Amino acid sequence: MTKAGSPDFVSPAERIAVFDNDGPLWVEQPMYFQSFFIFDRIKALAPQNPA
């Protein structure tokens, strides 16, 4: 689709980029960034309130 002269070629002006939250915008990790943030905050705040 990107090689000029190919029968499937699509000119840059006609190309459309599509994004979803399954891969391009999120890092493929077992835990999302919010989880890392929560655990970091617990570690930082736990000494102030050991209960």
For 1-51, write each residue's pLDDT tens digit: 889 999 999 999 999 887 766 655 556 666 677 888 999 999 999 999 877
pLDDT of residue 22: 64
pLDDT of residue 21: 64
Please calculate the CA angle 16-9-20 and round it to the nearest 5 degrees: 25
pTM of the model: 0.38
Given the structure tokens 């399954």, which residue do they identify? Answer: 22
Output the CA torsion 6→12→18→22 (10° steps): 60
pLDDT of residue 28: 62
pLDDT of residue 27: 61
Within 13 A of 32's CA, how many CA atoms are on the CB side?
6
